[in-house]
Amino acid sequence: MNFMATLTAVIASGLLVALGLAGNLFIVICNLFFRSSGQGLHLGDMLVTCIAVSTVILDLSAYLSMALFLLGGMCPNSNITMQINMFLTIAGISLNYWFIAWLCVYYCVKIVNMSSRVFIRLKQNISTVICCCLAGSVPIIIPISSAAFYIGMNDSNNSTTQNNSCPPIELMSSALGQVAMPLFVVQSIVALVLMMCSCSAIIVFLCGHIRQMQLSSPEIADSSQNLIRVAKMITVLALLYLFCTIAGALPVFIGQAAFSKEYFLVVDCMFSAACLGITVTLIAGNSSLRQKAQCSQQTWNFKERGRCLIFEKSCSDEVIFV
């Protein structure tokens, strides 16, 4: 890859990171500081905020890792700086997996109605159950993320080559493959199953619910439209997760990935685009965030129109004076 192509990819990825960072900061600020008086932060908003924070960690650490790799021309784990960034990147990915998965489960239990006593009991205690599940996810995240510190430390083959590329992943530490990769696969599969089952249950329930409502009234009520919007939000999040998992892990499993500039640029651009997609989806799918974004846009447009009017008035005054 020539210099101009590399520079273009770095700038494009940087713009995506900046947009994603602005959107995620907007989500965090709105959920934590700009709430109605007396209104607490319920679990759904808390999970959305956690997804935004983990997305910021993932976005910044992945971009910084790519920048350090391009500037240093070294293997990604040949110094402590790269190891820290790899740790944050893997931790951000894992946190995103579980936060999105439990958000899907949370909305599934809140939206779907069943006559089962077990399900009714689960619906009544869903906040406690989700918090316990989040706490149970930590023992899986820590070993996967911590393994980044030990990649290649005792592997003499993991060194910088003359053409600034690294050995294929299959030549790296066998301990990493025996510990981190199986846990990563289990984590990905479990999270994916939770997401897809929750999304499928919501879609099936809403199809039947809307069909029954249309028999009595052809127009869909606002409450049903909000449920449809939430279903679309978590479905898009699950699809983004599925795309990133397949696109990022497939080269590793087929043994064709190497830590080259091209591989790092492609993966980083993919993560930046996915993180921005997650941010846009969270804002568009949450009615409160969407309304605040629209109000912010209207306020910005009003201020811009005011500035233009002041500028036009000053220009006309200068013309009259002349």
- CATH number assigned to the domain comprising residue 286: 1.20.1070.10
Range of the domain at 223: 3-155+166-295
Q: How confident is the model at residue 314, as a pLDDT?
A: 44
In a domain, 300, yes or no: no
Burial of 56 (0-12, 13-18, 19+ CB in 10 A): buried
290/23 Cα distance (integer angstroms): 11
Percent residues over pLDDT 90 in the chain: 11
Please give the average per-residue pLDDT across 92-121, as a whole number. Answer: 88
In a domain, 309, yes or no: no
Percent residues over pLDDT 70 in the chain: 67
In a domain, 307, yes or no: no
21/15 Cα distance (integer angstroms): 10
In a domain, 312, yes or no: no
115/241 Cα distance (integer angstroms): 32
Least confident of 29-43, 137-151, 178-192, 308-322: 308-322
Q: Left if phi > 0, otherwise alpha if psi is -120 to 50, otherwise beta: which for 108?
A: alpha
In a domain, 16, yes or no: yes
| pLDDT tens digits for range 147-179 | 655 654 444 344 444 444 554 444 444 445 555
| pLDDT tens digits for range 208-267 | 877 777 677 666 566 677 788 888 888 888 888 887 777 666 655 555 555 566 777 777
Name the average pLDDT for the chain. 74
Least confident of 38-47, 67-76, 298-307: 298-307
Q: How confident is the model at residue 320, as a pLDDT?
A: 33
Choose between 293 and 278: higher pLDDT: 278
| pLDDT tens digits for range 12-49 | 888 999 999 999 999 998 888 776 555 667 888 899 99
Q: For the whole model, what pTM was predicted?
A: 0.79
Q: How many domains does the chain have?
A: 1
In a domain, 236, yes or no: yes
Q: How confident is the model at residue 106, as a pLDDT?
A: 92
Please give the average per-residue pLDDT across 63-67, as a whole number. Answer: 82
In a domain, 53, yes or no: yes
Choose between 313 and 208: higher pLDDT: 208
pLDDT higher than 90, residue 141: no
Burial of 280 (0-12, 13-18, 19+ CB in 10 A): middle
In a domain, 306, yes or no: no
Least confident of 96-110, 195-209, 238-252: 238-252
